[in-house]
Structure 1
């Protein structure tokens, strides 16, 4: 065969052997380290993804926990406002009650003071009427009666008339 293609069996065997040796050398020195590197890189990425997912779960848990605490804080704030309002209303009622009691005491004292003033004015008026009566009686009788006797007679007349006429 002397044609265009000259086939040499030993050359084909040599090329196949070289290819197999090259493949084994590349597999040992290149493919295994690259595969090992790729496996390690895949494992590291997988661990990073798992760690990120775990951190997301933890963040969600903390977020939910903080949300619940915030709700509790808001409820406590509303409770404080309600209690403060109740306390203010109670204090207002106490102050109003104390004020009413004070007004009642002042009215009672004023009524007592008025009664005392009436009695005092009535006694004073009785004394003045008695003095005028003594003077009038002294002029009418034209005789001098001692002051004590006159006073006793007038007091007796006034008592007979009664205190009811003087108080009205």
Structure 2
């Protein structure tokens, strides 16, 4: 009977194990497995989302770097254009100043030449007047009118030629 009892116990343990297995399978293994699959899917989705975000960020980074390079090139072009324009204006101003200076010098030379001619004319006039005064003094002293007149004319002619 002991063997029979052992067989019966074996069958009972086996049935208990089967019931426990189905019970655990239905109420423990399935939810845990489902939770693990959900968790795995959630992690996979998070990783995929992170990869997409990383790719988008890299795309934006490249776009912004390209825009930055374009902006830098544009800024360099604007600076170079401004420098060229400034140099051109500098040359124009310098040339204008040179022309103005040359015109001022030419006017100054002309003015000096006019003043010189005027002074020479005035000096000749004064010399002629002095010569006449001297001549009249000499004439009064000599009383030879004819000689004095010839002498005065000769002096005036020489002073006028100078």
TM-score normalized by structure 1? 0.75
Structure 1: stretches of 5+ with no match in the other structure: 144-152
Question: How far apart in 2 are the matches of 1:50 and 1:21?
Answer: 41
Residue 63 of structure 1 is matched in structure 2 by 61
Q: Give the secondary-structure state (helix, strand or coil) at the position aligned to 2:67.
A: helix
Residue 52 of structure 1 is matched in structure 2 by 50
Residue 120 of structure 1 is matched in structure 2 by 118
Question: How far apart in 2 are the matches of 1:40 and 1:90?
Answer: 73
Residue 86 of structure 2 is matched in structure 1 by 88
Residue 72 of structure 1 is matched in structure 2 by 70
Q: How far did residue 86 of structure 1 move?
A: 1.1
Higher relative contact order (CA 8 A, sep 6+): 1
Residue 30 of structure 1 is matched in structure 2 by 28
Q: Aligned-pair RMSD on alpha carbons?
A: 2.7
Question: How far apart in 2 are the matches of 1:138 and 1:9?
Answer: 184
TM-score normalized by structure 2? 0.78
Q: How far did residue 48 of structure 1 move?
A: 0.7
Equivalent residue for 1:100, pick from 91, 94, 98: 98
Equivalent residue for 1:111, pick from 109, 112, 128: 109
Q: How far did residue 120 of structure 1 move?
A: 1.0
Residue 147 of structure 2 is matched in structure 1 by none
Provide the aligned length of Structure 1 versus Structure 2: 149
Question: How far apart in 2 are the matches of 1:128 and 1:12?
Answer: 164
Q: How far did residue 140 of structure 1 move?
A: 4.3
Structure 2: stretches of 5+ with no match in the other structure: 144-151
Question: How far apart in 1 are the matches of 2:132 and 2:9?
Answer: 177
Q: Cα deviations across residues 19-49 of structure 1 (Å, max 9, x unaligned)? A: 2211111111111110111111111111111
Question: How far apart in 1 are the matches of 2:129 and 2:45?
Answer: 123
